[in-house]
Amino acid sequence: MKKIIAVDGPAGAGKSTVSKIVAARLGYTYIDTGAMYRAVALKVLESGKSVEAVTQDIEIKLDTSGKVFLDGREVTKEIRTPEVSRGASDVAKFGVVRKKLTELQREMAAQGSVIMDGRDIGTQVLPNADLKIFLTASVEERARRRFAELKEKNFAADFEQIKKEISLRDKQDSEREIAPLAKAEDAVLLDSTSLTIEQVVAEILRLAR
């Protein structure tokens, strides 16, 4: 059984959804690194301070149920707004943020069997992971999923605008100087465009075992 599983991929590919299920089936700890970047973005937006100032004394914790805590306050729902999503991509460009969060993520991974998802887990954070997955899907399909998710949460959503934002996010994540989004050489490519959530989960479980 693979003990450390890294799942990377672009926005909207379904990383968090399938990673949570896989973690539950295997009895592993799920670590959502995207939530950590969202928490930094939320603090920047709320405080009005610079990214560097915010990062100095920030405290982010994730519990086993998936709740996210920022400086002792639960922010699980607050970090899922469109505004915070856009901000997360911006703060991820800063070296000071990536250094701080990478240290926290490695500390979490050292605690036991984990599945961790993000943009640079297999290439930067956990390059020695036992199993690396690069989960992707077409821009059209990822936009469709994000549109459905926002509508379900009663957020105003425009499909074409979401598609543009996802394409821009892909470009930003892939072209940033620090830890860009990239498939690790030894990662398994898994395209979920025409797969159900259960089919993706089944394949990752097969690879893990």
Sign of the dihedral through C-alpha 34, 144, 137, 113: positive
- How many angstroms separate the CA atoms of 75 and 48, rounded? 17
Give residue 172's pLDDT.
86
The pLDDT of residue 176? 84
Residue 184: per-residue pLDDT: 96
Q: How confident is the model at residue 153 (pLDDT cuts 50, 70, 90)?
A: confident
> pLDDT tens, 25-40?
999 999 999 999 999 9
**Residue 119 to residue 108: CA distance in whole angstroms:** 17
CA–CA separation, 102 and 121 (whole Å): 9
Long-range contacts made by residues 62-70, C-beta under 8 angstroms, separation at least 24?
62/31, 62/32, 62/35, 62/36, 62/108, 64/29, 64/30, 66/20, 66/30, 66/32, 68/32, 68/35, 68/36, 68/38, 68/39, 70/39, 70/42, 70/43
In this prediction, residue 127 carries a pLDDT of 96
Average pLDDT over residues 17-22: 96
The arithmetic mean of pLDDT across residues 76-80, rounded, is 94
∠ Cα 153 197 24 (to 5°): 90
For the segment 97-130, what is each residue's pLDDT rounded down to a tens digit? 999 999 999 999 998 899 999 999 999 999 999 9
Q: What is the pLDDT of residue 63?
A: 85
Entry pTM: 0.87
In SS3 terms, 28-74 reads as CEEEEHHHHHHHHHHHHHHHCCCHHHHHHCCCEEECCCCCEEECCEE
pLDDT at 70 over 80: yes
pLDDT band at residue 137 under the 50/70/90 scheme: very high
Fold classification of 4-208 (topology level): Rossmann fold (3.40.50)
**Is 156's pLDDT higher than 90?**
no
Judged against a pLDDT cut of 80, whether residue 64 lies above it is answered with no
Provide mean pLDDT across the span 21-25: 96
